[in-house]
């Protein structure tokens, strides 16, 4: 045999094993799915063409990756958790259909179920007499990790079923896109490296040794498979999904039964163009034979069933030229390199800038100014550089040099041992001040509408804003505000009113607005509930804080350190003098504050009277719960203009009460 072929097979196996290790063990994708799948496909083709090269230890024959670095208990699966063969070519779907008919020796159409392929972390759950007893990751397909304690922290996973049955069900743990954005914003503000995508974030979260971290990140789970369905009297896959929904499991609700290849292709095309409306990342569609009794006849390969295939959507990556690198300074002083790009359209919008994350990432990817690079929108939202086309280099490209001084204030930058973040430690850096003020006035914090970054930047320049508390003196500078571009008397009136209204914000929002490192919305709410007012919180020591559920060593130290800082204490005192609320409101018994207790809501479409976060906040104030998608747990869907697919799905379910914005307002009044 040609020695070049043998060497290529060795190289492919080595590369794939390395990518598997990073993906499964380190929760880090260091190659795009498309490129990875192409390498696996090439390896499989060689092994098919030259059977003497086949090896049971080849990554083409193994599901997942080694568990040698796992800190969790290993448990064997009762039935292997196989992966699906996949394709990016619709013709391969047609070939799959032909193979199914050939194996079954039938010319008749086969019914298929088409489901969304979620990009998350596979999980197997075991129930005894209707109670959740164990949760296992896929692991290497034969043996998984026991993550039961962490699974218990995921709200959408039922701990008790509606029937006392014994069963195994499999699903996909995901981080909703809305939560992914919030989590990365928080990590960047805290000087931590952001997650590259929701899948990495979900996988990394589930493998945390501290269950409280899992709880705080609001993971979600959708189920897609009932093991041994026929033991439960179920003979079709779509019926098994309805069955587990009735038991209390969450599914995507999208499982179309298609009787022909034409139907399949039409629905695949529909979801390829409409998946952007979903709050979770999906990278394709899964096609399964509906009749479960045919599975044994169709059989299995070493790692995949022959009765299912995954069609993956084309990767949304485009190439452009990296023209230069600029730097952003966050409120905690973290300096982030940003790629300035030759404008290019990605997923429907023109992208001119993309995140480079940090300088270690730049070195790892060997990114240079002048490079031809691939960019994509992580979670369809955040542009990032994913790959350099080194073959296109001319020799004129320039290395990206790590700055020694802050690009805004000129102070010497520092990096703590073991950290990737490069930081400006100058507390009077104008960029840090601007980010702190922008954070303070943001919607989830003090919710001061009309105080945009341009105004903040200008008023820092002229010395009107030296601290977040100075926001409450802006009414003294009406004339200067009115003279700003796109401002006028009415805009200034609205801004001043919004500033005044912010003084009434709940204590938890004010606490969040202070920007205490590692204290996001969840922990701000926890600390507010435990302390009742900021004076009591400032008196708490580390030991007392550690007794609070959800507060770890890092958070406790950060809170204590924050309240030891003299400048922070002066700011808090000034805010108190301006009338900003730093106390939790005591709710009187009988008050109509929990009228939505036990009810679930979801708002969709364009709302005229509320912002999306505003209506969610109101629902929570009244004791209700906000859901991220339409399912049988949803009680009320509030619809605005262009409500779209969520309205259609709610109508199909029939159990959801659909409200206009005005009808919702009538409910709360």
Residues with catalytic roles? 117
d(CA 465, CA 481): 13
Residue appearing with tokens 């059989």:
299
Kindly list the distances between the CA atom of residue 664 and the CA atoms of 212, 434, 444, 637, 667, in Å, as whole numbers in the listed order: 34, 38, 22, 10, 5
| Number of other residues whose CB lies within 10 A of the CB of residue 7 | 10
Backbone φ and ψ of 159, nearest 5°:
-90, -25
- Torsion of Cα atoms, 564 then 570 then 576 then 582, to 10°: -20
d(CA 187, CA 175): 15
d(CA 13, CA 488): 65
d(CA 172, CA 167): 17
Query: Which burial class, exposed, middle or buried, applies to 492 when counting CB atoms under 10 A from its CB (0-12, 13-18, 19+)?
Result: buried
DSSP string, 557-599: HHHHHHHH-HHHHHHHHHHHHHT---BPPPPPTT-GGGTTTT-
d(CA 412, CA 426): 9
Alpha helices in 56-153 (DSSP H): 90-104, 148-151
d(CA 545, CA 575): 24
| Number of other residues whose CB lies within 10 A of the CB of residue 81 | 22
Measure CA 488 to chain center.
39
d(CA 255, CA 647): 17
Contact by Cβ (8 Å): 554, 192: no
Contact by Cβ (8 Å): 174, 257: no
d(CA 373, CA 392): 9
Kindly list the distances between the CA atom of residue 613 and the CA atoms of 64, 178, 416, 609, in Å, as whole numbers in the listed order: 38, 11, 36, 12
Contact by Cβ (8 Å): 512, 519: yes
Paired with 143 in beta bridges are: 76
């Amino acid at each position: 045999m040609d020695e070049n072929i043998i060497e290529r097979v060795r190289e492919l196996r080595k590369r794939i094993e390395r990518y598997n290790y990073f993906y499964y063990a380190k929760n880090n994708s260091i190659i795009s799915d498309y490129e990875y799948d192409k390498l696996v496909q090439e390896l499989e083709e060689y092994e098919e063409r030259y059977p003497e090269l086949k090896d049971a230890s080849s990554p083409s024959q193994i599901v997942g990756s080694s568990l040698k670095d796992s800190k969790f208990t290993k448990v064997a699966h009762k039935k292997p958790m196989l992966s699906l063969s996949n394709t990016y070519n619709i013709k391969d779907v047609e070939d799959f259909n032909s193979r199914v008919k050939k194996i079954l020796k039938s010319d008749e159409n086969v019914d298929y179920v088409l489901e969304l392929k979620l990009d998350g972390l596979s999980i197997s759950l075991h129930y005894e007499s209707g109670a959740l007893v164990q949760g296992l990751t896929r692991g290497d397909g034969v043996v998984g990790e026991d993550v039961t304690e962490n699974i218990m922290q995921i709200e959408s996973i039922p701990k008790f079923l509606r029937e006392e049955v014994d069963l195994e069900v499999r699903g996909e743990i995901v981080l909703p896109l809305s939560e992914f954005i919030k989590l990365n914003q928080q990590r960047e503000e805290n000087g931590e490296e952001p997650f590259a995508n929701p899948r990495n974030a979900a996988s990394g979260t589930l493998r945390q040794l501290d269950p409280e971290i899992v709880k705080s990140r609001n993971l979600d789970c959708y189920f897609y498979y009932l093991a041994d369905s026929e033991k439960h009297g179920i003979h079709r896959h779509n019926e098994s999904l309805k069955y587990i929904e009735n038991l209390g499991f969450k599914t995507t609700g999208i499982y179309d039964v298609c009787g022909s290849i034409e139907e399949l292709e039409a629905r695949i095309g529909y979801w390829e163009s409409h998946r952007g409306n979903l709050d979770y990342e999906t990278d394709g569609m899964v096609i399964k034979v509906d009749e479960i009794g045919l599975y044994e006849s169709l059989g299995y390969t070493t790692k995949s069933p022959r009765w299912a295939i995954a069609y993956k959507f084309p990767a949304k990556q485009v190439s452009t030229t990296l023209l230069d690198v600029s730097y952003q300074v966050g409120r905690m002083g973290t300096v982030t390199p940003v790629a300035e790009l030759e404008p290019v359209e990605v997923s429907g919008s023109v992208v001119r800038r993309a995140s480079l994350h940090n300088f270690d990432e730049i070195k790892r990817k060997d990114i240079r100014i002048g490079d031809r690079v691939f960019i994509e929108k992580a979670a369809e939202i955040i542009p990032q550089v994913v790959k350099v086309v080194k073959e296109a280099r001319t020799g004129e490209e320039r290395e990206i040099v790590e700055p020694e001084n802050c690009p805004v204030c000129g102070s010497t930058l520092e990096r703590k041992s073991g950290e990737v973040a490069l930081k400006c430690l100058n507390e009077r850096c104008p960029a840090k001040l601007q980010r702190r003020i922008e954070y303070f006035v943001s919607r989830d914090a003090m919710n001061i509408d009309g105080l945009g970054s341009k105004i903040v930047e200008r008023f820092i320049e002229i010395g009107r804003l030296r601290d977040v508390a100075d926001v409450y003196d802006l009414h003294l500078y009406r004339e200067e505000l009115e003279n700003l571009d796109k401002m006028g008397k009415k805009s200034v009136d609205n801004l001043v009113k919004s500033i005044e209204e912010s003084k009434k914000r709940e204590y938890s929002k004010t606490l969040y607005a202070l920007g205490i490192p590692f204290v996001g919305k969840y922990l701000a709410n926890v600390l507010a509930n435990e302390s009742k007012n900021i004076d009591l919180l400032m008196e708490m020591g580390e030991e007392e804080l550690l007794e609070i559920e959800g507060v770890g060593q890092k958070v406790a130290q950060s809170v204590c350190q924050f309240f030891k800082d003299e400048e922070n204490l002066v700011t808090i005192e000034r805010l108190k003098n301006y009338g900003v609320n730093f106390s939790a409101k005591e709710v009187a018994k009988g008050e109509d504050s929990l009228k939505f207790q036990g009810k679930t809501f979801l708002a969709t479409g364009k709302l005229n009277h509320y912002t999306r976060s505003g209506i969610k906040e109101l629902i929570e104030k009244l004791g209700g719960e906000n859901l991220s998608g339409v399912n049988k747990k949803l009680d009320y869907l509030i619809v605005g203009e262009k409500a779209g697919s969520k309205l259609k799905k709610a109508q199909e379910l029939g159990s959801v009460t659909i409200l206009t914005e005005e009808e919702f307002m009538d409910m709360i009044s």
